[in-house]
Amino acid sequence: MIDNNYANKCIVCNVTNCKNHNSSKNYCSLETIRVGTHEPDPTANPCTDCKSFELKEPESFLE
Ligand code: SF4
């Protein structure tokens, strides 16, 4: 179970619709994340993705 009160100060993140996002601060609540790419030959920041992203449950958006 994810503890969304935990803020991993090594992983700054503002993706608030991810279920791993800290509930009140701009940090991830996971110990580690996986970063990857959707490009065959990444050349810029937008080419990279957080592969640990998980969509927050719809009812959680109302919290
Ligand atoms: S899993 Fe990735 S997208 Fe989700 S809160 Fe953590 S760093 Fe952000």
Residue pLDDT tens, the chain, 63 long: 789 999 999 999 999 999 999 999 999 999 999 999 999 999 999 999 999 999 998 765 555
pTM for this predicted structure: 0.87
Q: Which two tokens stand for residue 36?
A: 């990857």
- For the CA of 52, the closest atom of ligand 1 is 1
Q: Say what the pLDDT of residue 62 is.
A: 57
The Å distance, Cα 44 to ligand 1 centre, comes to: 19
How far lies 25's CA from each of 8, 13, 28, 34, 40, in Å?
Answer: 10, 9, 8, 20, 33
Contact between 21 and 12 under an 8 Å Cβ cutoff? The reply is no
The verdict on the CB of residue 7 being under 6 Å from ligand 1 is no
Mutate to test the pocket of ligand 1, among 17, 31, 33, 60 (most ligand atoms within 8 A of CB): 33
